[in-house]
Amino acid sequence: MATAGKRPDGENERESALLQRVAQRDRDAIAELYRIYHPRLFKFIFRLTHSYAVADELVNDIMLLVWQNAAAFRGDSKVSTWIFGIAYRQAMRRVTRRPTALSQNAHNVEPACDDSIGIETEDWVWQGLHALPHAQRLTMILVFYFGLSYSETAEITRCSVNTVKTRMFHARRKLRGYLTESATADPSDHGRKHG
């Protein structure tokens, strides 16, 4: 499965051509970009917010910004990096503007199959991720779940590669601490806290 950061070079050329058409207000081109990016953007926002409604709303906002700003794309980066940069900034605005609502959503999502150890483990990791500061959480999602390089993540988040490395270092340390603490906690306490 392709991720935002690990895509064939031909894909970027195709998407760049689509973006040039979008800059000329070609509605078929934006529809095609929407089809390509909706699943990845939705997954990114949903992993951050655990809210279908917020993810759907933000994906539409992001693609509207792509439509409005396509002419500003100069080709200095991959199209995916540029679009995920827009997504990152929109997500940061939403998360910092309404953190309480988003953190409540994180615990209200029911897993599709309640018998699966894999889903329980993933939910446990996501609870840990939601305990991280916003910038660290977003950085970890971009690097770990979307497979972006540190340099691509730095470009998307408009910070230095060293800042990305620092955020990843602290995020891993905090997540390790959270998971260790959760693993040794009394299961009945876990149910009361997160149930």
157-168 pLDDT tens trace:
999 999 999 999
Average pLDDT over all residues of the chain? 79
30 vs 66: CA distance, rounded Å? 8
Share of the chain above pLDDT 70, in %: 73
Summarize the confidence of residues 65-74 as an average pLDDT. Answer: 95
Domain 9-194 -> CATH class:
mainly alpha
Confidence label for 195 from pLDDT (cuts 50, 70 and 90): very low
**Among all chains, which residue has been given the structure tokens 């408009």?**
158
Domain limits, the chain: 9-194
Say if residue 124's pLDDT is above 70: no
- Run of H or E including 93: helix 79-97
Output the CA torsion sign for 6, 8, 9, 12.
Answer: negative
96-120 pLDDT tens trace:
775 434 444 444 443 343 444 444 4
